[in-house]
């Protein structure tokens, strides 16, 4: 199954560098069920930077956390598994002084699988490599993410504003943005 193959490829890319922590009972995540009832949904533990998720709860099957220098190799894994890029966005973790870049991938076939690749960078110097050499369609996604979060995609062929005015010196989705 494509989920297992992709998970194994990510685990090879992200070998565990620290001893496994002792097993702790995860209280799970509380989710709303029909008729106002709440239920606990357990997340699988992250293994070598990868977590397998319940699609019905999270909207994706695999979640891979990679370092910026591992991004190209991680994206190559999903490309070779015939995924397409859905979106690229950012998350401003202002208290942690970081910006997270989130890449969503999916497949069309009957072995449907959605994968999220995440990487975090310093908020004061948000630079990640471009993936446009792997997915040409990432060009516009990266330009939009640059507009709204100020993330620089190193090596991007044409990183100019897509939606904001060309002279814009602000990034409206950063949490400390003031109009």
- Residue 158: predicted pLDDT: 93
Summarised one tens digit per residue, pLDDT across range 94-152 is 999 999 999 999 988 765 789 999 999 999 999 999 999 999 999 999 999 999 999 99
Please check whether residue 103 lies inside any domain of the structure.
yes
In this structure, the chain runs to a length of: 179
Residues 13, 74 contacting (CB under 8 angstroms): yes
68 touches 128 (CB < 8 A):
yes
Whether the full predicted model's pTM is greater than 0.85, yes or no, is no
The two structure tokens encoding residue 82: 């015939």
Domain with residue 91: its CATH number is 3.30.460.80
| Average pLDDT across the chain, whole number | 84
- pLDDT tens per residue across span 25-62: 444 555 555 555 555 444 455 555 788 888 878 888 88
The domain in which residue 81 lies consists of: 2-13+39-154
Q: How many domains is the chain built from?
A: 1
State residue 166's pLDDT score: 86
């Amino acid at each position: 199954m494509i989920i297992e193959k992709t998970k194994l490829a990510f685990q090879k890319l992200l070998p565990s560098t620290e001893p496994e922590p002792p097993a702790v009972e995860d209280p799970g995540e509380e989710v709303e069920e029909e008729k106002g009832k709440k239920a606990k949904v357990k997340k699988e533990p992250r293994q070598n930077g990868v977590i397998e998720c319940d699609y019905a709860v999270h909207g994706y099957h695999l979640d891979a956390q990679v370092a910026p220098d591992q991004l190209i190799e991680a994206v190559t894994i999903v490309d070779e598994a015939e995924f397409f890029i859905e979106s690229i966005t950012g998350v401003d973790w202002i208290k942690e002084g970081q910006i997270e870049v989130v890449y969503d991938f999916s497949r069309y076939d009957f072995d449907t699988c959605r994968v999220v690749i995440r990487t975090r960078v310093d908020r004061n110097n948000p630079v990640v490599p471009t993936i446009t050499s792997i997915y040409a369609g990432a060009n516009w996604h990266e330009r939009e993410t640059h507009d709204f979060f100020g993330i620089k995609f190193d090596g991007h062929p044409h990183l100019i504003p897509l939606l904001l005015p060309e002279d814009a010196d602000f990034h409206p989705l950063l949490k400390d943005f003031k109009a």
